[in-house]
């Protein structure tokens, strides 16, 4: 059984709309697949936490949005725009990580010049902080993405934010590299 299929079963599980056989399929898969098992536990923890919150009356506009989300759900999952956003986000993270490694971490280790040491410390600090932020962006996007899909809240807005965050990081990264190059010349 593929992780993708288990994924949709897990969504049914959290919707409370699952058969005994399907439940067993999830358990069986999670015994073999560490990734799915971990994802399941994280989701379960998040949803248990959500369910502990007291029910509040949501604004009327929100209800409309949720209903729209439900009606558009099928269209969303096949929307090439959403897929493109995700691909751009993932591609951005890969480029960002590669940039950091090739242009900052490796030169930092190689360089021993006192003149640029101070600036290297700044870049190194930024690198550490942005690494943590990047992890948060990835983990939160996975988690929120799952929850929002299941709760039928519009995913498009959220993905746009993720993409903007990644682009902002890339811009700052480029700026630092540019400044560093000026300093070296």
Minimum CB separation from Zn ion for residue 28, in Å? 11
Give the residue with the Cβ less far from Zn ion, 28 or 63: 28
Instruction: For residue 9, state whether it binds Zn ion (rule: CB under 5 A).
Output: no
| Tokens 């682009």, located at residue | 167
Minimum CB separation from Zn ion for residue 94, in Å? 22
Q: Which two tokens stand for residue 159?
A: 């993905």
| Tokens 């000026």, located at residue | 182
* 100 burial via Cβ count (<10 Å: 0-12, 13-18, 19+): buried
Give the residue with the Cβ less far from Zn ion, 2 or 17: 2
Provide the CB-side half-sphere exposure for 25 (13 A, CA): 17
Minimum CB separation from Zn ion for residue 9, in Å? 11
Give the residue with the Cβ less far from Zn ion, 5 or 68: 5
Minimum CB separation from Zn ion for residue 37, in Å? 8
Q: Which residues 33-62 are close enough to bind Zn ion by CB under 5 A?
A: 33, 36
**Cβ contact 9:43 at 8 Å:** no
* 82 burial via Cβ count (<10 Å: 0-12, 13-18, 19+): middle
Backbone angles phi, psi at 33, to 5 degrees: -110, 110
Give the residue with the Cβ less far from Zn ion, 21 or 109: 21
Instruction: For residue 170, state whether it binds Zn ion (rule: CB under 5 A).
Output: no
Instruction: For residue 27, state whether it binds Zn ion (rule: CB under 5 A).
Output: no
Residues near Zn ion (CB under 5 A), total = 3
| Binding region for Zn ion (CB under 5 A) | 3, 33, 36
């Amino acid at each position: 059984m593929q992780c993708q299929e288990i994924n949709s079963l897990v969504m049914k599980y959290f919707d409370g709309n699952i058969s005994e056989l399907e439940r067993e399929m999830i358990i069986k898969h999670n015994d073999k697949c560490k990734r799915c098992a971990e994802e399941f536990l994280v989701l379960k923890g998040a949803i248990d936490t959500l369910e502990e919150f007291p029910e509040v009356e949501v604004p009327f506009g929100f209800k409309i949005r949720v209903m729209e989300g439900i009606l558009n759900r099928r269209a969303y999952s096949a929307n090439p725009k959403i897929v493109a956003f995700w691909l751009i986000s993932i591609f951005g993270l890969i480029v960002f990580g590669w940039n950091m490694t090739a242009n900052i971490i490796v030169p930092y280790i190689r360089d021993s010049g006192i003149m640029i040491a101070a600036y290297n410390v700044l870049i190194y600090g930024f690198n550490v902080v942005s690494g943590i932020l990047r992890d948060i962006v990835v983990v939160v996007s996975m988690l929120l993405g799952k929850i929002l899909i299941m709760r039928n809240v519009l995913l498009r807005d959220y993905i746009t934010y993720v993409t903007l965050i990644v682009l902002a990081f890339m811009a700052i990264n480029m700026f630092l590299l540019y400044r560093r190059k000026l300093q070296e010349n």
